[in-house]
């Protein structure tokens, strides 16, 4: 899989996101800034109007010539000014014909939301309006100023301010993006690219890729590098072990083939011994036959286990009750009538099938039957006289096949190595492959095989089938018992 191009790389995404986030931050800053700028602009006009109105007080007759009024109003940028002193005296400056007022803005007690809304409404204004502004004088809050002015100069000043803010935002975003881009590229992107290249190389050639060399970093990237190096070493060790096991399996297969031929000959000869006139020979012959049977079983199960690998499944809609019945027949047929248990008694087994009619599952019939056969044979060989198979539904649509027996229970050694090949046998001379193969079958189906309980009264195994495996037919699923109790590990 090729690495992504520059335009689709993590670096490009970081660059674009940084620019967008900085611009978003500037927009959030701009909103109160433009409202504050408009308020400051109006306050400056009110202060200038205050000073201009005080010129009336300096005249002897409290009257100002029209030419001077027009000059003062032009300096203020207003059409009319009214100054109210604390003693209620009023000073006025006005053009001869002041225009009609289109809107009134009272700055006394104006709150931030109102000021913000007025600022954006002014920016959206497309016609030239004449506005009246009322507010306390910034020179002396005791004075109240009432001023009539054109709104267009203020809007133009706000637009110029917005342009400066935009230019500054773009400059800041580009500078921040470059700095963040360079920093993150050095701290994250390059190490991540190195990790990605290492993973791709290991996937392509797990055994031939040079060892990945982690850096001395102590952060998460350093941890990931060291874990990748350890994983590569583990994979190499597993591959070498697999090669050795493959060679060993080939050798075992050849030995097993010859050994089974030898055992077949021995079995034929042992059957002739049962017809011997010597009572002692006839007495020990069943034990000899049992030993040969165990040796043949060892060869057969070893070959099956080494040959299977990852189980391929051929899933079909399988009626569950007939499958369980057939598995019981196979398990019983696999037990020779002259085979004895460790206590010297002959092997006899009752197979109780309590799976309801009409229940169908989507599974590999041969593999699922194989798991049930292994459990039945193990129970019989461990000393059980009866095996019972029941079914329960699980929350979420799963299914439990409960295989219980009335045997003496599993010894501690068998529980410790229950699903370990060649180590989990519950009887002397066993190979311990039955449960290991059964668990592989269940896990290949997406479920699992677990030991529910094992006491002197018997042992119960749970074959856990995943949700979605049940095909509901004839309403039988709703008639089965439901269990939401946890399955022990």
CATH code: domain of residue 377: 3.30.565.10
- C-alpha to C-alpha distance for 316 and 475, rounded to whole angstroms: 20
Contacts of 172 (CB under 8 A, 6+ apart): 22, 26
Rounded to whole angstroms, the Cα distance separating 320 from 332 reads 18
Note the pLDDT of residue 424. Answer: 47
399 and 355 within one domain: yes
Do 92 and 135 belong together in one domain? yes
Token pair for 80: 């009319």
Q: Binning pLDDT at 50, 70 and 90, where does residue 303 land?
A: low
Cα–Cα distance between 432 and 301 in angstroms, integer? 9
Q: Which two tokens stand for residue 322?
A: 């007939």
pLDDT in tens, 263-300: 777 776 666 666 677 777 667 667 666 666 666 666 66
Q: How many domains does the chain have?
A: 3
The answer as to whether 188 is a domain residue is no
Higher-pLDDT residue of 243 and 120 is 120
Looking at residue 307, its pLDDT comes to 55
Instruction: Find out whether 405 and 387 touch, Cβ atoms under 8 Å.
Output: yes
DSSP, res 347: P
Is residue 1 very low, low, confident or very high in pLDDT (cuts 50, 70, 90)? Answer: very low
Is residue 468 one of the residues assigned to a domain? yes
Rounded mean pLDDT, 346-368: 85
Instruction: Please identify which residue in the block is written with the tokens 């190490």.
Output: 191
Pairing assessment for the beta strands 350-353 and 386-393 based on DSSP bridges: parallel
- pLDDT score of 60: 65
Helix (H, G, I), strand (E, B) or coil at 47: helix
CB 336 within 8 A of CB 348: no
**Is residue 201 assigned to a domain?**
no
CB 158 within 8 A of CB 197: no
**250: confidence class by pLDDT, cuts 50, 70, 90:** confident
Where residue 335 falls among pLDDT bands split at 50, 70, 90? Answer: low
pLDDT tops 50 at residue 49: yes
DSSP at 76: H
Q: What is the pLDDT of residues 455-467, one digit of tens each?
A: 888 899 999 988 8
Dist CA 303 CA 21 (whole Å) = 64
3-class state of residue 119 by DSSP: helix
Burial (0-12, 13-18, 19+ Cβ within 10 Å), 5: exposed
Within a domain: residue 185? no
Same domain, 292 and 356: no
Would residue 193 count as lying in a domain? Answer: no
Q: Are residues 58 and 156 in the same domain?
A: yes
Look over the chain and give the mean of its residue pLDDT values, rounded to a whole number.
79
Instruction: Check pLDDT > 90 for residue 104.
Output: yes
Backbone angles phi, psi at 240, to 5 degrees: -65, -40
pLDDT the model gives residue 42: 93
Identify the burial level of 76 via C-beta atoms within 10 angstroms of its C-beta, where 0-12 means exposed, 13-18 middle and 19 or more buried: buried
Please tell me the predicted confidence (pLDDT) of residue 39.
93
Torsion of CA 300, 303, 307, 310, to 10 degrees: 60
Least confident of 147-151, 171-175, 283-287: 283-287
pLDDT grade, residue 432 (50/70/90)? low
332 in any annotated domain: yes
Kindly state whether residues 284 and 327 are assigned to the same domain.
no
Say whether both 46 and 139 belong to one domain: yes
Instruction: Name the nearest CA neighbour of 359 among 404, 314, 317, 315.
Output: 317
pLDDT reported for residue 367: 86
The structure tokens listed for 437 are 């193969």
> Which residues have C-beta within 8 Å of that of residue 319, sequence separation ≥ 6?
358, 359, 360
Tell me the average pLDDT across 187-207.
82
pLDDT bracket for residue 69 (50, 70, 90): confident
DSSP letter string over 52-117? Answer: HHHTTTTSTTS---HHHHHHHHHHHT-SEEEEE-TTS-EEEEE-SSPPPP-EEEE-TT--HHHHHH
Going by pLDDT thresholds of 50, 70 and 90, the confidence category of residue 161 is very high
What is residue 477's predicted lDDT score, i.e. its pLDDT?
A: 47
Is the same domain home to 356 and 284? Answer: no
Do the beta carbons of residue 452 and residue 462 sit within 8 Å?
Answer: yes
- Pick the last residue of a domain from 292, 310, 328: 310
Q: What is the pLDDT of residue 187?
A: 80
276 and 319: one domain? no
Domain boundary residue, one of 310, 325, 355:
310
Q: What is the pLDDT of residue 238?
A: 80
Q: What is the dihedral of CA 17, 22, 23, 28, to 10 degrees?
A: 130
Instruction: Give me the pLDDT at residue 429, please.
Output: 45
Domain range enclosing 144 = 6-177
- What's the pLDDT at 278? 73
Cβ neighbours of 476 (radius 10 Å) = 18
161 and 253 in a single domain? The answer is: no
The Cα–Cα gap between 285 and 283 comes to 6
Q: CA dist 26 to 118, 182, 270, 472, Å?
A: 20, 22, 95, 61
Quick one: average pLDDT of 81-90?
A: 82
Q: Specify whether 282 is located in the same domain as 257.
A: yes
Is residue 29 scored above 80 in pLDDT?
A: yes
**Range from 52-61, 71-80, 404-413 that averages highest in pLDDT:** 71-80
Share of the chain above pLDDT 90, in %: 19
From the list 219, 225, 220, the residue with the least C-alpha distance to 193 is 225
* Bridge partner residues of 318 (DSSP): 361
- pLDDT(110) > 80: yes
User: Is residue 322 located within the same domain as residue 461?
Assistant: yes
> Could you give the angle at the alpha carbon of 266 between the alpha carbons of 260 and 270, nearest 5°?
140
Q: Is the full-model pTM beyond 0.75? A: no
Beta strands 360-363 and 470-471, pairing class = antiparallel
Cα-Cα-Cα-Cα dihedral sign, residues 442, 354, 432, 332: negative
The two tokens of residue 482 are 């439901």
Q: pLDDT per residue over 370-427, tens digit each?
A: 889 888 888 887 788 899 999 988 777 778 899 999 888 887 776 766 777 655 455 5
One domain for residues 304 and 155: no
Instruction: Tell me what pLDDT residue 311 has.
Output: 58
């Amino acid at each position: 899989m090729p690495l992504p191009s520059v335009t689709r790389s993590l670096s490009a995404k970081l660059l674009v996101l940084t620019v967008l986030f900085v611009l978003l931050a500037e927009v959030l800053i701009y909103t109160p800034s433009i409202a504050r700028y408009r308020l400051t602009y109006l306050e400056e006009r009110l202060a200038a109007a205050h000073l201009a109105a005080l010129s009336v007080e300096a005249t002897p007759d409290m009257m100002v010539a029209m030419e001077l009024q027009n000059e003062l109003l032009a300096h203020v940028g207003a059409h009319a000014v009214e100054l109210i002193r604390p003693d209620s005296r009023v000073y006025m400056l006005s053009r001869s014909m002041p225009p009609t007022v289109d809107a009134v803005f009272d700055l006394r007690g104006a709150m931030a939301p109102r000021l913000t809304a007025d600022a954006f409404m002014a920016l959206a204004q497309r016609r030239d309006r004449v506005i009246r502004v009322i507010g306390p004088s910034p020179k002396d809050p005791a004075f109240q100023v009432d001023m009539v002015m054109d709104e267009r100069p203020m809007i133009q000043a706000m637009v110029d301010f917005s342009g400066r803010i935009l230019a500054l935002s773009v400059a800041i975003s580009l500078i921040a993006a470059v700095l963040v881009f360079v920093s993150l590229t050095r701290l994250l992107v390059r190490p991540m690219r190195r990790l990605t290249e290492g993973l791709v190389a290991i996937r392509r050639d797990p055994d031939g890729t040079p060892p990945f060399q982690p850096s001395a970093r102590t952060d998460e990237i350093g941890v990931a590098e060291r874990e990748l190096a350890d994983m590569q070493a583990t994979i190499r060790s597993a591959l070498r072990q697999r090669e050795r096991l493959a060679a060993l399996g080939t050798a075992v297969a050849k030995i097993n083939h010859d050994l089974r031929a030898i055992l077949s000959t021995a079995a034929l000869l042992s059957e002739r011994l049962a017809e011997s006139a010597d009572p002692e020979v006839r007495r020990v012959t069943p034990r000899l036959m049992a030993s040969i049977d165990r040796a043949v079983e060892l060869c057969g199960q070893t070959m099956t286990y080494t040959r299977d690998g990852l189980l391929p499944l051929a899933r079909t809609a399988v009626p569950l009750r007939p499958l369980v019945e057939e598995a019981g027949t196979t398990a019983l047929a696999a037990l020779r009538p002259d085979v004895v248990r460790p206590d010297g008694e002959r092997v006899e087994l009752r197979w109780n099938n309590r799976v309801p009619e009409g229940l169908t599952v989507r599974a590999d019939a041969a593999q699922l039957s194989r798991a049930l056969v292994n459990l039945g044979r193990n129970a019989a060989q461990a000393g059980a006289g009866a095996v019972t198979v029941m079914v329960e539904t699980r929350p979420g649509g799963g299914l439990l096949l409960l295989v219980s027996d009335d045997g003496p229970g599993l010894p501690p050694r068998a529980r410790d190595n229950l699903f370990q090949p060649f180590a989990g046998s519950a009887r002397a001379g066993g190979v311990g492959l039955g449960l290991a193969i059964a668990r592989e079958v269940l896990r290949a189906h997406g479920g699992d095989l677990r030991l529910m309980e094992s006491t002197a009264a018997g042992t119960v195994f749970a074959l856990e089938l995943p949700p979605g495996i049940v095909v509901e037919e004839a309403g039988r699923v709703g008639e089965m018992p439901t269990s939401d109790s946890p399955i022990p590990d």
